[in-house]
Structure 1
């Protein structure tokens, strides 16, 4: 990958899109992870206003520290970057009190994890509306089009996706080029939706390099019978997530009424 050319291309694409849309700049949720760090830096490089928002909900301290380190670095490097913080923990706790939770704990925990992401999406669009900004998405290619590892109408609810055509390994290459803080570059990827230190690999059962391999094999038309051992296990994990989350990756189904009925 020609990293510098890719960076310049994305920055120009972002700036051109914002100009044509008639907006002032971008807003992004900064989590302390590599994807939001790279995306926010790319947005900052456009020279257009960028609002970085921290939105903790019972967040692990390591995530908070990494996010603040990155935002502080961005603000030193780029005059067009500003920040704000919205502590959504009280909102989240109020929501929990108002909804029923008579299902098993694992089901409740997953529903609440997705609720966290949707509260953050609502917050981002609130600020986007206030300041005439676009919500920049942080999903990469493996998450968005491979395993569907994101929340529908949560972190998947965005105006544009600058890095969605890049694999996770390619995002790291951009991160190195863009001088993303070392603490973020070395941190295990995590969605931070459960308020603890569990990583994406803990949840999925496979690492991003393994998932990138499985995505490539699937694109080449390989099947389970082509592999054995760990490779077969990883391919099975990939196919399970890809199938279960297909609804996130395709347009919303529309019931088209036959013209003869109208």
Structure 2
């Protein structure tokens, strides 16, 4: 990949889109992960106003620390970057207390995790509307179009997606080029939605390198001989891809036949 050209292209694309849409800049949630670090840096490089939001909900202290260090580094480099911390922990707890009591289960845990992401989306759009900004998404190609690893109307609720055509390995390549801190580059990817140490790989059952391989295998209609692990990864990828099509496809509309309108 011609990394320097790709970075220039993405920065130009972001700036042109914002100017064409008559908006003032970007707002982005910074989590301490590689995707939000790269995306926020690309937004900053446009020279347009870039608001970085921290939105902790029972957040792991390591994630908080990485996010804060990244934001401070950005603010030192770019005068157009500002930041705010909006602690949503109490909001989340108040919401939980208003719900009917139900037994603990994996499904309940997942539902509450997705709720965290949706609170953050609402917060991002509050500031976007307040300042006339665009909400910049942080999803990469494997997450957004391969396995659908994001929350519908949560981190999937954005105005534009600057890195959604990049494989995870390419995001790391861009991160190294941009000088993202080693601490972030080396951290295990996690969505941080469960308040514990589980990683994306723990949830998905495969690493991003493996899922990237599976995505390319399917796209290229490859018929190479596979070992047992590759067969398992391919099964994981296909299952997640099928299960999450409702996220990746447009919302279905019940169309009324013309004959019924007569």
Q: TM-score range by the shorter chain?
A: over 0.9
Aligned length: 261
The secondary structure found in structure 1 opposite 2:84 is strand
How far is 1:100 from its partner? 2.3
Q: How does 1:148-159 map to 2 (within 5 A)?
A: 148-159=148-159
How far is 1:197 from its partner? 1.2
Q: How does 1:1-262 map to 2 (within 5 A)?
A: 1-102=1-102, 104-222=104-222, 227-262=226-261
Residues 222-262 of structure 1: CA distance to partner in whole angstroms, max 9, x if unpaired? 47x95341000100010111010011000000000000000
How far is 1:196 from its partner? 1.1
Aligned-partner Cα distance in 1 for 2:134–2:64: 24
Aligned-partner Cα distance in 2 for 1:97–1:8: 47
Aligned-partner Cα distance in 2 for 1:212–1:167: 7
How far is 1:104 from its partner? 4.7
Aligned-partner Cα distance in 1 for 2:10–2:43: 9
Residues 184-210 of structure 1: CA distance to partner in whole angstroms, max 9, x if unpaired? 000000000001111100110100000
How far is 1:221 from its partner? 2.3
Aligned-partner Cα distance in 2 for 1:227–1:98: 50
Aligned-partner Cα distance in 2 for 1:147–1:160: 19
Aligned-partner Cα distance in 1 for 2:221–2:103: 39
Unaligned 5+ runs, structure 1: none
Residues 144-178 of structure 1: CA distance to partner in whole angstroms, max 9, x if unpaired? 00000000000000000000000000000000000
Aligned-partner Cα distance in 2 for 1:154–1:42: 21
Residues 34-63 of structure 1: CA distance to partner in whole angstroms, max 9, x if unpaired? 000000000000000000000000000000
Aligned-partner Cα distance in 2 for 1:114–1:101: 18
How far is 1:102 from its partner? 2.2
* 8 A Cα contact 1:101 1:108, kept in partner: no
The secondary structure found in structure 1 opposite 2:231 is helix
Structure 1 residue ranges (4+ consecutive) displaced by more than 6 angstroms after TM superposition:
none
Aligned-partner Cα distance in 1 for 2:196–2:127: 27
